[in-house]
Amino acid sequence: MVGVAGATDSKVVILTAGVAGLIAGGISMAAGEYVSVSSQRDTERALLHQEKFELKNYPKGEFHELVKLYQDKGLTQATANKVASELTDRDVFMAHADAEHSIDPDELVNPCQAAIASTASFLAGAAIPLIAITGPPANMRIPIAFVSAVIALILTGTLSAKVGKAPVLPAIARVVSGGLIAMVITFSIGSLLGASNI
């Protein structure tokens, strides 16, 4: 959208490009997230299926594997044996799924939920610069769009850091620098194409 604004002052053209980018980006985010999370879920299901097979056919070997996993985490053999025994008595499948694969069989990833969340986040973030670039007069569009996009990027970086319990400033720096580079490049290309009257 910033690239189109660099090529033309037409509000209709900029708005059309912005809405098209918004729709295409939203669909792309949904499809990409759905495919990615579906692949992850398929992997989790395959691991759980293999685990069920091994528990049914090699229960003793699986028990010793569980003990070894707890020993590797720092427990003594006696404590690891006790923990493995108690967890096996409670729910052998759940115990192995968690200890070996860090998977909760009752809480597999949901591709539809991930796709909706990703799309909603994209649309909310992308709407800010779209409104900012189509509202003001032509001579103020680019500066306001840049500022609004930076604000949206700061919010995105802050939220992603908070959710991931990571340091906020490095997250903001990464997101803002990446976004600024993208905007400068697209604006420059748009300006060159607009000046060349292609």
pLDDT of residue 187: 80
Confirm if 1 and 17 have CB atoms less than 8 A apart: yes
According to the per-residue pLDDT averaged within each range, which of 84-93, 116-125, 144-153, 157-166 is highest? 84-93
According to the per-residue pLDDT averaged within each range, which of 61-70, 146-155, 181-190 is highest? 61-70
pLDDT of residue 5: 67
What is the chain's alpha carbon radius of gyration, rounded to the nearest angstrom? 25
pLDDT of residue 80: 92
Residue 134: C-alpha distances to residues 16, 18, 34, 121, 138 (Å): 10, 9, 31, 21, 9
Mean pLDDT of 60-69: 94
For 69-120, what is each residue's pLDDT tens digit?
999 999 999 999 999 999 999 999 999 999 999 999 888 888 998 888 888 8
pLDDT of residue 6: 66
Confirm if 115 and 27 have CB atoms less than 8 A apart: no
More confident position, 141 or 197: 141
For 132-142, what is each residue's pLDDT tens digit?
777 777 778 77
pLDDT of 155 above 60: yes
What tokens appear for 10 in the block? 């037409």
What tokens appear for 147 in the block? 């500022």
**Of all helices (H) and strands (E), which one includes residue 2?**
helix 2-7
Mean pLDDT of 161-172: 84
d(CA 88, CA 42): 25
pLDDT of residue 163: 74
pTM, 2 dp? 0.66
pLDDT of residue 165: 79
pLDDT of 171 above 80: yes
